Amino acid sequence: TIKIHLHYPRVENPQVEHLRLPQRLVLLHPQLSFNHHPPPPKLLYSYTLSSTGFAAHLTAAQVSELWRHPAVLTIVPDKVHHLHTTRTPQFLGLEQRTGLWPKSHYASNVIIGVLDTGIWPELPSFSDEGYDPVPATWKGSCEAGPHFPATSCNRKIIGARAFFQGYEAAKGPINETKDSKSPRDTEGHGTHTASTAAGSVVSNAELFDYARGEAMGMATKARIAAYKICWTLGCYDSDMLAAIDQAIADGVHIISLSVGVKKSDSSYVNDNIAIGGLHAAQRGVLMSCSAGNSGPNPFTAVNIAPWILTVGASTIDREFSAHVELGDGRKFSGASLYAGEALDDSVYLKLVNGADCGSRFCVAGELNSSKVAGKMVVCDRGGASGRVAKDEVVKQAGGVAMILTNTAESGEELVADSHIIPATLVGQIAGDKIKDYVSSVPNPTATIKFKGTVTGPSPSAPRVAAFSSRGPNRVTPEILKPDVIGPGVNILAGWTGAVGPSGLKKIDQRRVEFNVMSGTSMSCPHVSGLATLLRNTYPSWSPAAVKSALMTTAYYLDNSKKNFTDLATGKQSSLFVHGSGHVDPNKALNPGLVYDIDVSDYIAFLCSIGYGSKDIAIFLRDPVTIDCGARNLSSPGSLNYPSFSVVFESGKTRLNTLGW
């Protein structure tokens, strides 16, 4: 069997049509029956706001037959998506007395919908102390479920729901010993993103004494509606689209979505985030999405439709330093959140390279214990195991410490992790020198010195993360993506009580209220929160106007007044890497010129890329006559977009140059 989305053409009364969809599917069943007696079609969801249509579980033969129905616009297979702040408010320039925070009243009555792994409601980040009653515009509910009573919601978390029909159709019943079939977050990701976007103020927040300070979301007084769409094995299109549908109906103002496919679709017609995003925009809801963590290769950015706010990741002026000192006296900068017993500074451990001991990536079962026991092991980042998972591999082989080294893919990016053995991550240049040292001296030794939290102007910030996905835009290269970058490296925010900070469920029994994570999943809710503040400041602004303000006021010089550095190469970042630049919330408060876009502009845009009326109808809220011949957008690049990318053709090669 396969999972299918079916989109129907627009009708005069979509609410009535919504009720008819299940019956219509049943009526189609006799036409879909064959000699082999396939199972009856199973309706999963009906959509009226994020699209018009439904998701169903069908056989390939049933899909083939259904294509003949005149009402069907398109059939899209259900795809799986994957998951992509104490100091960041100060780094962003947010102040309590002046600027966007007080002007927006901290987004006190704006509702942000977070589509993710759910939420851990008991955290202080979700306290509703001092909050006004729930806004009268809210039409949603708090869905009770296992380990999540209706009392889990309050005046901060005003709604919560779980969507799993598509997931179960693909993977079978949810294993409730590992996941909670409710809005309860057992992974941590959703709690982290929700508290980043709109967490309440929490004093003395920290992770093992790292990053200690006052934690708060970007929109500290905004209300949160949590929609759980992601489960142990991924996030399915059908569940996500159902959550977007529900969020719009519930009355959210901003949708924050830190998920995406590994590779962008080649067409917006097949991209359900693009479809749901434009339906949301037509109802005044801005969708803010992560660009993805597939950098540094080009054409890797996802969630790239022009009506979506696409966010890449950058560093802030804070690091968690853990330096490597070699036996010959050389020192190399590293990053770690290790909180166990520190190494004796006076004792240098024997140092070996994992590549000489069976596995350069330190993969489980491949390290030679006789060569590793009692030693510090150099392991390359990547391969078939996660960064912290390598700790356990080294430990099981008898190793006592680890130096994790970046390869060319990650360059000089330093991501800190909650290691379970003394360990640190160093950049590629340092890693190569350390490995050369191991191979060139008869008795190589090293130690790691953990320096804790370090803030300041060196190294410069922001710098663009190597993992942050890049343009050009695979579908319409004339639209520059990502749109902006924001803080996404080593970000402290709320965490689930169901799993330790390393995310290793079987071996990490530590429990914390805050955790440090990295990814465009972290930068997205920062920008979502800023968009929420702008939405409360200018309630009449369209989603495109809010997006324009953030893009046209973004900056491209770091705190040393130099162009951004791309951590993948150590060289100057390009517009394909950082988009319009790094968000500046206080400047966005007064952007001057605003590039506004309405649905007719988007229709003209879709016409300009060759879509016909049947394809365009998928994206539209209301039935309209689509005459592309009457549209005056000569090319996709003519869209009234806050940035632009010009495509030059030379023979069969398309070359891109940019402006903004």
Can you tell me the distance from the alpha carbon of 239 to that of 235, in angstroms, rounded to the nearest whole number? Answer: 7
Q: Given the residues 189, 279, 419, 578, select the one marked as catalytic.
A: 189
CA angle 557, 559, 562 (to 5 degrees): 40
Residue 178: Cβ within 10 Å count: 12
Written as six digits, the tokens of 330 are 């050389």
Give residue-wise pLDDT tens across range 9-55: 444 454 444 445 444 544 454 455 444 555 667 778 877 777 777 77
- Could you tell me the CA-to-CA distances from 538 to 107, 285, 533 in Å, in that order? 11, 13, 9
DSSP one-letter code for 503: -
The least confident of 197-201, 306-310, 455-459 is 455-459
The label of the residue with tokens 């259900």 reads 78
Look at residue 243 and tell me whether its pLDDT is greater than 60. Answer: yes
pLDDT band at residue 624, thresholds of 50, 70 and 90?
confident
Instruction: Give the whole-angstrom CA distance, residue 13 versus residue 160.
Output: 28
Say which CATH superfamily domain 81-316+462-588 falls into.
Answer: Peptidase S8/S53 domain (3.40.50.200)
Catalytic residue among 314, 521, 548, 608: 521
Catalytic annotation, pick one of 46, 81, 84, 116: 116
Find the length of the chain: 660
User: What per-residue confidence (pLDDT) applies to 239?
Assistant: 95
Percent of the chain with pLDDT strictly greater than 90: 74
Summarize pLDDT for 292-317 with one digit per residue, the tens: 999 999 999 999 999 999 999 999 99
What b-and-e string marks burial along 502-523, b requiring 16 or more CB atoms within 10 Å of the CB?
bbbeeebeeebbbbbbbbbbbb
CATH class of 2-77: alpha beta
Distance, in Å, from the CA atom of 262 to the CA atom of 268, rounded to the nearest integer, reads 15
pLDDT of residue 656: 52
Residue found under tokens 């953990």: 450
For residue 189, indicate whether it is catalytic: yes
pLDDT at 1 over 80: no
CATH class of the domain defined by 318-455: alpha beta
Sheet holding 157-162, edge to edge: 157-162, 223-228, 111-116, 254-257, 286-290, 309-314, 484-487
Q: What is the pLDDT of residue 137?
A: 96
Would you kindly state where each structural domain of the chain is located, as residue ranges? Answer: 2-77, 81-316+462-588, 318-455
521 is catalytic: yes
Give the model confidence (pLDDT) of 146-197 as tens digits.
Answer: 999 999 999 999 999 999 999 999 999 999 988 999 999 999 999 999 999 9
Bridge-partner residues for 469, per DSSP? none
Give φ, ψ of 318 to 5 degrees.
Answer: -145, 135
Cβ-contact 425, 408 below 8 angstroms: no
CB 306 within 8 A of CB 605: yes
Mean pLDDT of the chain: 90
DSSP string, 145-166: BTTB-GGG--SSEEEEEE--HH
544-577 pLDDT tens trace: 999 999 999 999 999 999 999 999 999 999 999 9
Residues 6+ away with beta carbon under 8 Å from 475? 264, 265, 266, 267, 268, 304, 305, 609
Q: What confidence tier does 2 reach under pLDDT thresholds 50, 70, 90?
A: very low
The set of residues, in sequence order, having a beta carbon less than 8 Å from that of 248 and lying 6+ positions away, is 49, 50, 279, 280, 283, 285
Burial class of 581 by CB neighbour count within 10 A (0 to 12, 13 to 18, 19+): buried
User: Is the confidence at residue 438, as pLDDT, over 80?
Assistant: yes
Q: How confident is the model over 47-85, as pLDDT tens digits?
A: 777 777 777 877 777 777 777 777 777 787 778 877 666
**Is the pLDDT score of 495 beyond 90?**
yes
